[in-house]
Amino acid sequence: MAEYQTHDFDVLVVGAGGAGLRAAIEASAAGVKVGVVSKSLLGKAHTVMAEGGMAAAMGNVDDRDNWRVHFADTMRGGQYLNNWRMAELHAKEAPARVRELEAWGAVFDRTRDGRILQRNFGGHRYPRLAHVGDRTGLEMIRTLQDHGIHKGIQFHMETTILTLLKDGERCVGAFAYDRERGRFKLLHAKAVVLATGGIGRAFLITSNSWEYTGDGHSLAYHAGAALLDMEFVQFHPTGMVWPPSVRGILVTEGVRGEGGVLRNKLGKRFMFEDIPANYRSSTADNEDEGWRYTQGDKSCRRPPELLTRDHVARCIRREVKEGRGSPHGGVFLDIAWIKARLPNSEEHIKKKLPSMYHQFKQLADIDITKEPMEIGPTTHYVMGGVKVDAESQMSTVPGLFAAGETGAGLHGANRLGGNSLSDLLVFGKRAGEYAAKFAKEHGAGQINQSQVEETARWALAPFDRGPAGENPYAVQHELQEMMQDLVGIVRREEEMERALDRIQELKARANRAGIGGNREYNNGWHTALDLHNLLTVSEIVARAALTRKESRGAHFRDDYPEKSDHWGGVNLWVVRGPDGAAQVREVPVKPMPDELKQVIEENK
């Protein structure tokens, strides 16, 4: 019999990032008993790394902005595969969520007349990102923690959920281990909210932290929930490329929002050469107009560097592939050039982009106020995730909710920058509210003891196999290299077929993973357990990407380089079949009501 502590909650929130904390605050405000579990220490969730800001149509900098424009921008960015109801709720509710954060103590940058300042970002028609320099995520986490800490929420830090517990069809809690001592915990709950973030660690070059092993996606899938549109993985155009130890670390889009430009090794601003037809009318066609847009001139259109991320990333890849890249395999991102336009450019850059200044100075010995940066695409975000109901965020499993990067629907085929932080607030709140409601309406479910015993046995098996077993780090590294090469930014059928074969081999090796030492803070053990999630999400991404035979948004197929009408009307669900194998289902996109179609027409 496995030994474990038991804790009882009404609502268990898995994840202490923006989505998890916002959900926990809301559930707690509804008067139920809430527990929050996180793999890392409180304050270290990935949200803390968010830089550029949160998108909300408050119209503080440009009063032409409103929810209708934000909705249309989000749908166009997502290439109309978005859940339109989520996009509508998000555009309408984000301003209130940002103001609420301000009321709870977030100190945003200000306009001259004292309102929350908003900056330009890719794909947003007007300056829309509320921000705190380039440290917006830090302020968000600090504020939510300060507010949440007084709500009587029970926190279990450095605790990893291993499996979700089921009573029949319903989710009734989770089984976990604490990373410090290696002891098991049974977390019994009437409703569970998954807010575990993304899957970036399935790839070699990524801006994502060690926590992003796709746990929530994998936990939900194995509990029977449908995953939606997992082929859409966002490769952010600007990650560091040099030195090798920092490859993939994000360079915020805020650099381009403040006037930074992309050049190839010939010094050419190559983005002017490839402006997609549906963005031509809203994109500047000369350098001067682009610059004036970044400085707030309302008569100007945005520079092509602020086109959507998928497009910019592919243009960079093209420059590199065709021999016009920088010395270390990227291109140049230059903000220093603004000295030709602004007398106090050095102070301006340091004030607007303090983290970027320090990041390049300390990690690459580059002074961005004087020299260009070398950058290239990096795996950044997953648009796909747990299929949820737009209003409540409940998954296809009763009692199981998902929010933030783990949930899916809002972003369609491509997320606009800044729409994640507002997503966390809008849908984190909704998940908390509806999970509390579910908990009030349902009694505590039964724990299936054999599920608990089986999970405990599985979790301890790497110790039984010992150091003679497969090295978990080697399996993880080979998986990441393989996903980067075969299911990365440009995809082909035969490569993805090969990826699926390799995943089967790696799964077999992961099942033989062994480690030495004991259960106390044993990183080898943690890595061995994470492999299960990484392999699950990698297979699902590859299967969905193989099925979608077109190029759309973040999903680019070399063998199907165009968009197709058929696939433009289809979402992909992946569910675990009765034989345990992943099944991919084509589900028609729900038709949009006429009034929302009208909003899109108005904003073309």
Ligand X SMILES: Cc1cc2nc3c(=O)[nH]c(=O)nc-3n(C[C@H](O)[C@H](O)[C@H](O)COP(=O)(O)OP(=O)(O)OC[C@H]3O[C@@H](n4cnc5c(N)ncnc54)[C@H](O)[C@@H]3O)c2cc1C
527 binds ligand X (CB under 6 A): no
| Residue type for position 131 | H
Q: Which stretch binds ligand X (CB under 6 A): 111-119, 419-427, 465-473, 514-522?
A: 419-427
Q: Which stretch binds ligand X (CB under 6 A): 76-84, 193-201, 480-488, 501-509?
A: 193-201
Of the residues 131, 217, 247, 256, only one is catalytic, namely: 256
Of all helices (H) and strands (E), which one includes residue 558? none
Considering only residues 239-298, where is the footprint of ligand X by CB under 6 A? 250
Q: How far is the CB of 534 from ligand X (least distance, A)?
A: 12
The count of chain residues that interact with ligand X, using the rule CB under 6 A, is 42
Q: How far is the CB of 132 from ligand X (least distance, A)?
A: 10
50 binds ligand X (CB under 6 A): yes
Question: What distances in angstroms separate CA 117 from CA 58, 68, 112, 303, one per listed residue?
Answer: 10, 20, 9, 20
Classify residue 561 as exposed, middle or buried by CB count within 10 Å of its CB (0-12, 13-18, 19+).
Answer: exposed
Nearer to ligand X, 102 or 550 (CB): 102
Nearer to ligand X, 546 or 553 (CB): 553
Q: Which of 28, 38, 345, 379 binds ligand X (CB under 6 A)?
A: 38
Nearer to ligand X, 15 or 412 (CB): 15
> Within a 10 A sphere around the Cβ of 101, how many other Cβ atoms?
24
Q: Which of 117, 410, 424, 436 binds ligand X (CB under 6 A)?
A: 424
Q: Which two tokens stand for residue 60?
A: 């503080």
236 is catalytic: yes
CB 161 within 8 A of CB 223: no
421 binds ligand X (CB under 6 A): yes
Bridge partners of residue 263, in order along the sequence: 332
378 binds ligand X (CB under 6 A): no
Nearer to ligand X, 354 or 467 (CB): 354
15 binds ligand X (CB under 6 A): yes
* Local structure of residue 117 (DSSP, 8 states): P
How far apart, in whole angstroms, are the C-alpha atoms of residue 9 and residue 154? 9
307 binds ligand X (CB under 6 A): no
How far apart, in whole angstroms, are the C-alpha atoms of residue 486 and residue 496? 6
* Local structure of residue 463 (DSSP, 8 states): H
Nearer to ligand X, 35 or 399 (CB): 35
Nearer to ligand X, 50 or 98 (CB): 50
Of all helices (H) and strands (E), which one includes residue 583? strand 582-588
Q: Which stretch binds ligand X (CB under 6 A): 50-58, 109-117, 262-270, 272-280?
A: 50-58
Angle (CA) 514 517 523, round 5°: 75
CB 304 within 8 A of CB 290: yes
**Nearest residue by C-beta to ligand X?**
17
How far apart, in whole angstroms, are the C-alpha atoms of residue 590 and residue 570? 9
- Binding string, 160-179, against ligand X, x = CB under 6 A? xx------------------
Q: How long, in residues, is the chain?
A: 604
Q: Which of 13, 19, 338, 534 binds ligand X (CB under 6 A)?
A: 19
207 binds ligand X (CB under 6 A): yes
Classify residue 392 as exposed, middle or buried by CB count within 10 Å of its CB (0-12, 13-18, 19+).
Answer: middle
Q: Which two tokens stand for residue 455?
A: 């999970």
Q: Which stretch binds ligand X (CB under 6 A): 18-26, 368-376, 385-393, 555-563?
A: 18-26
53 binds ligand X (CB under 6 A): yes
State the alpha helices, DSSP H only, in 203-353: 215-222, 254-257, 287-294, 309-321, 345-352
Nearer to ligand X, 26 or 51 (CB): 51
Q: Which of 28, 60, 83, 208 binds ligand X (CB under 6 A)?
A: 208
Q: How far is the CB of 570 from ligand X (least distance, A)?
A: 25
16 binds ligand X (CB under 6 A): yes
Of the residues 97, 125, 135, 236, only one is catalytic, namely: 236
How far apart, in whole angstroms, are the C-alpha atoms of residue 532 and residue 530? 5
Q: Which stretch binds ligand X (CB under 6 A): 36-44, 183-191, 365-373, 492-500?
A: 36-44
Classify residue 189 as exposed, middle or buried by CB count within 10 Å of its CB (0-12, 13-18, 19+).
Answer: buried
How far apart, in whole angstroms, are the C-alpha atoms of residue 215 and residue 192? 14
Q: Which residue has the tokens 């929810």?
A: 67
Catalytic residue positions? 236, 256
Give the interface with ligand X as residue ranges (CB under 6 A): 14-20, 37-40, 45-47, 49-54, 136-137, 160-161, 195-197, 207-208, 211, 215, 250, 381, 404-406, 417-421, 424
